[in-house]
Copies of this chain bind each other. A is one copy, B any other.
Amino acid sequence: MTRAADRLLDAIEEKKNPSVVGLDPRIGLIPEHIKEEAAGEGVMPFEIVHNSLVKFNYAIIDAVKDIIPAVKPQMAFYEQYGSWGVKAMESAITYARNRGLVVIEDAKRNDIGSTAKAYADGHLGMVEISDKTFVTSMGADFITVNPYLGTDGIRPFLDSCKEYDRGIFVLTKTSNPSSGEIQDVLTGDGVPVYELVAGLVNEWGKELMGTGEYSSVGAVVGATYPREAERLRELMPNTIFLVPGYGAQGGTAEDVMPCFDQQGSGAVVNSSRGITFAYQKEAYREDYGPEEFAEAARAAASDMRADLLEALEKSGKLPKGW
């Protein structure tokens, strides 16, 4: 298999689209007809939820698979439904990967070394299920991780990345309003904590370089903090940025431009609700009913691509041939 950084950047180049669709299903927002199809005599409530999530995700994936390079299931929205939800996420990962999409699992996992290894094995590598028999459990291409425990909590993920050609995105400067409470605190050296994390990300990334300039150790940098992103882009020249916060959280295409390098590479921008539930948004509601939620998602994904490409063009960063 090619290295994870290469797979992601190649997919972006192939689709000429640096965006990722977040698969964050909320049962309350899934169209009624999907839930009706998912139900049936003897089908238990959590199974109906599972079936609804699966049907919804498959339809979204089919609708956007030829125009987007990657999907990002947010594990919280599956895990909240317990094992049935996690089962639905496993299906989404497999379905998306079988259709050539790169899968970034947003799980923000973290623990001490021996425990982090269990997360790394399960999400990126293989788990031993009986004597000397190892199988793939979840099998994502990338997973997001939290750096608060330092290097030995990250090490097992790096090992899995190396062995199975996978990647991670390390929370560096997150998109939420209170991210600064810890991340922006100035250390005695006068640099904020997120820059200190950037230094760790650089170190971790060295052992997982792709064939080009980028490593399979990426960073999460929120669209809502463009100034910080600009500084982080300088500090982390070999790090792909996974950029949440575009759309629903208020980040604009202009805001995310500092996340890209001068050639318009090195970043992938996420939108979740704005795409998957576009059918409920004013901009699409008139043209698409609940039955056409997948078509609405495709239109929204296409509009997001156009928005990003326009901003890349304006900032002189549009990749050649796009």
Cβ-defined contact, A150 with B183, below 8 A:
yes
Q: Which of B49, B152, B187 contacts A187 (CB 8 A)?
A: B187
**Cα separation A249 to B178 with both chains bound (whole Å):** 33
**Cα separation A146 to B119 with both chains bound (whole Å):** 16
Would you call A111 an interface residue if the criterion is a C-beta within 8 Å of the partner chain's C-beta atoms?
yes
Cβ-defined contact, B45 with A130, below 8 A:
yes
Cβ-defined contact, A152 with B130, below 8 A:
no
Would you call A80 an interface residue if the criterion is a C-beta within 8 Å of the partner chain's C-beta atoms?
yes
Known: A46-B129, A49-B129. A112 touches B149 (CB 8 A): no
Chain B proximity mask over A182-205: 1 for CB below 8 Å, otherwise 0: 110111101001001100100000
B-contacting residues, A102-135, CB 8 Å: 108-113, 115-116, 118-119, 121-122, 127-131, 133, 135
Q: Which of B90, B146, B179 contacts A83 (CB 8 A)?
A: B90
Which chain B positions have C-beta within 8 A of A129?
27, 45-46, 48-49, 81
**Cα separation A246 to B111 with both chains bound (whole Å):** 16
Cβ-defined contact, A178 with B193, below 8 A:
no
Number of copies of chain A assembled together: 2
Would you call A264 an interface residue if the criterion is a C-beta within 8 Å of the partner chain's C-beta atoms?
no
Known: A118-B76, A130-B35, A190-B188. A82 touches B182 (CB 8 A): no
B-contacting residues, A166-181, CB 8 Å: 171, 174-181
Cβ-defined contact, B137 with A152, below 8 A:
no
Known: A87-B83, A193-B182. A28 touches B150 (CB 8 A): no
Would you call A228 an interface residue if the criterion is a C-beta within 8 Å of the partner chain's C-beta atoms?
no
Cβ-defined contact, A119 with B76, below 8 A:
yes
Which chain B positions have C-beta within 8 A of A111?
74, 76, 108
The residue on B at minimum CB distance from A26 is B118
Would you call A84 an interface residue if the criterion is a C-beta within 8 Å of the partner chain's C-beta atoms?
yes
Would you call A79 an interface residue if the criterion is a C-beta within 8 Å of the partner chain's C-beta atoms?
yes
- The interface centre, meaning the residue of A112, A127, A135 with most chain B CB atoms within 10 A of its CB, is A112
Cβ-defined contact, B176 with A153, below 8 A:
yes
Would you call A151 an interface residue if the criterion is a C-beta within 8 Å of the partner chain's C-beta atoms?
yes
Cβ-defined contact, A81 with B27, below 8 A:
no
Which chain B positions have C-beta within 8 A of A48?
129-130
**Cα separation A28 to B121 with both chains bound (whole Å):** 14
Which chain B positions have C-beta within 8 A of A115?
24, 74, 76-77
Which chain B positions have C-beta within 8 A of A79?
86, 118-119, 122
Residues in chain A within 8 A of chain B (CB atoms)? 24, 27-28, 35, 45-46, 48-49, 74, 76-77, 79-87, 90, 108-113, 115-116, 118-119, 121-122, 127-131, 133, 135, 137-138, 146-153, 171, 174-183, 185-188, 190, 193, 196-197, 200, 244, 249
